[in-house]
Structure 1
Amino acid sequence: MHFALLGNNRIEAQPKLNGLCSCCSKPVIAKCGTRKIWHWAHKSKTDCDNWWEPETEWHRTWKNNYSADWQEISLLNKRTGEKHIADVRTVHNLVIEFQHSHINPQERTSREQFYKNMVWVVDGTRLKRDYPRFLKEWKSDGISEVHQTDKSGIFKVWFPEFCFPEHWLKSSVPVIFDFRGDGSMDDSEGLRNTLYCLFPQFGRHARVAKISRKAFIKATTNGEWTLRVLDFINEFRIQDEIELRKQQQTMPHSSNKIIYTWRGIPLIGGYKKNRKRL
């Protein structure tokens, strides 16, 4: 962890210091070596926050885009007594969780239900194959069918499982994919510097928005993010309802064509039926 309590102050790790964990109030010691970023660690194994993961430089760099007063905020569910540390919680009550390591769907769902108003930022460089797979699909060389909508920067994706890790596809909140990592990877086309926001999917296809880092940080800082997301999602729902009605009106009730499906999406005449997943 980045901060611990020393007296009434939240301080960063420094050599030979001892402090208290802001979540469980148990002793922590400063770890200030040369191999890992300086951090606080519990003196002994303890039942603190089982959602907490070791921080990387990627975590710390992202968190430092926000005020120190917003970082590592302990939140308590008064009804259940459950307590967890949010990576960032803004003054507008938006929680931002930065996720590098693998997370199972059950824990992802639990976090979303606990924090409610939140957004994930996922390190897309954890697995070597994730970015090449995404790039192939995004540049229309794959079979995901990425189509830009009439709204600038927002795309429809028919098969998001070919673009993104599958365990993020059913998230109930937006997921931001960051493919830049520590910035040392080759990016001749400048695609890694853009963030890609996967919205919760309600209709026949997913929506993905391209957004700059500066715009994301600004929107999550000034309180605009939550309202924008709600507006987008409401608009997506309306668009899907209109498309569904049009399809029902134009599709004949009886047809000799075979209708195949992929994850519930009708594929007329077996289109892409035999395409193998990468």
Structure 2
Amino acid sequence: MRFALVNGERSEAAPKLQGCCLGCSQPMIAKCGTQRVRHWAHRGNRSCDPWWEPETLWHRDWKYQFPSEWQEVVRHDQKGEKHIADVMTENGLVIEFQHSHLPLHEKVAREGFYQSMVWVVDGTRLKGDHPRFLDGRRLFRPTHLNGVFTIADPKGCFPLAWLTCSMPVFFDFGHTGVSTDTSTAKTGVLWCLLPGRVEGCAVVVAVSPVMFMNAAQKRAWIIPVRAVMETVAAALRREREIAEREAWSSIYDRPQYRKRRSRSFRSFRRRSRF
């Protein structure tokens, strides 16, 4: 963990400091070696939060983009269960940064516990993840919304383990220029897979890291998921209806159908005579 309570205040690890865990109030050890970033650890292998896991530099760098008081926030539910969120904004949005593999049941549990949350996933964890995305991105279909795309088969772009999430998943493929200096604007694109499907297609939104950070600081959501999905669904329905009308028109424009229509029209004129 980055923070522990020292004399009742949140503090980062430093040599000779003694602290207590934010979650369980048990003593913490300040790890201040040269091989890993300074952090606090429980004595032995004990952890008060079963969802907590060792942080990579990627993980820590992302957290450093946010105010320290938003990092490692203890959340409780009505049953007394508690977990430590990576980041929780002042608007109540939880942001979980995930590098390592996460079992499906734990994804479901975290989404149910936090409810208002998004995932940020390290898209370079496995060697083939980024090349697969680059190859599959060619199948993205642009919509009339800027930066919003659809794809019929997201398995060709994104890791299978993240396709069924009920919360937005932002994939960081390693080109966001994350810096521990929060004044430094990041570059690149985060690719967000929205939950659910419209007309059988997945919806993907390209978001700049700067836009991501600005939204997190100002709103309780990064992307208005429902509004985007409804707008894209309406557009796809219109496209399908137009395609179906054109298909029927092309059928009835064939010579054999034109002859039938002509005979039907002559027959109608004879029956209509007075």
TM-score normalised by the shorter chain: which range applies? 0.7 to 0.9
Per the TM alignment, residue 224 of structure 1 is displaced from its structure 2 partner at its CA by 6.0
Aligned-pair identity (%): 45
**Aligned pairs (5 A) from 1:109-124:** 109-124=108-123
Match for 1:179: what amino acid? F
Contact 2:92 2:220 in 1 (8 A): no
Indicate the residue corresponding to 2:271 in structure 1.
none
- For the structure 1 residues 168 and 15, does the alpha-carbon distance in structure 2 shift closer, same or farther, using more than 3 Å as the test? same
List aligned pairs for 1:95-174, cutoff 5 A: 95-138=94-137, 140=138, 145-174=139-168
Contact 1:133/1:162 (<8 A) preserved: yes
Is structure 2 residue 221 aligned with structure 1 residue 222?
no
Distance in 2 separating the partners of 1:16 and 1:51: 28
| Deviations 1:51-93 (CA, angstroms, capped at 9, x unpaired) | 1111111111111111111100000012x22110000000110
SS at match of 1:11: strand
Report how far residue 166 of structure 1 moved. 0.5
Q: Structure 1-normalised TM-score? A: 0.79
- Secondary structure at the aligned position of 1:225 is classed as coil
CA distance in 2, matches of 1:202, 1:182: 27
Asked if 2 retains the 8 angstrom alpha-carbon contact of 1:123 and 1:181, the reply is no
Moved more, 46-55 or 63-72: 46-55
Q: CA deviation at 1:49?
A: 0.6
Over alpha carbons, which structure has the higher Rg? 2
Rounded to whole Å, the distance in 2 between the matches of 1:155 and 1:13 is 44
For residues 240 and 82 of structure 1, what CA distance do their matches in structure 2 show?
42
Alignment of 1:173-252 (within 5 A): 173-180=167-174, 193-203=188-198, 204-223=200-219, 225-226=221-222, 228-239=224-235
Amino acid aligned to 2:169: V
- Residue 217 of structure 1 aligns to a residue in which SS? helix
Structure 1 gaps of 5+ residues are 185-191, 253-278
2:64 corresponds to: 64
Q: Indicate if the aligned counterparts of 1:2 and 1:40 stay in contact, CA closer than 8 A.
A: yes
Cα distance in structure 2, aligned partners of 1:243 and 1:114: 38
* Other structure's SS at 1:46 match: coil
Aligned to 1:10: 10
Q: Which shows bigger deviation, 225-234 or 24-33?
A: 225-234
Deviation larger for 194-203 or 231-240: 231-240
Q: List gaps (5 residues or longer) in structure 2.
A: 179-186, 249-274
Alpha-carbon spacing, 1:227–1:123, altered in 2? closer, same or farther (3 Å): closer
For the residue of structure 2 that corresponds to 1:50, the secondary structure is coil
Q: 2: CA distance between counterparts of 1:182 and 1:153?
A: 17
Higher relative contact order (CA closer than 8 Å, sequence separation 6+): 2
Q: Distance in 1 between matches of 2:58 and 2:136?
A: 25
Change (3 A) 1:171 1:244: farther
Distance 1:150 1:181, change over 3 A: closer
- The 1:156/1:15 distance shift into structure 2, 3 A limit, reads same
Q: Hey, what's the Cα distance between the residues in 2 that align with 1:242 and 1:4?
A: 55
Structure 1 CA distance, aligned partners of 2:245 and 2:106? 41
Q: Report the equivalent of 1:74.
A: 74
Give the Å deviation of 1:241: 5.4
User: What is aligned with 1:267?
Assistant: none
Give the Cα–Cα distance (whole angstroms) in 2 for the partners of residues 4 and 36 of structure 1.
17
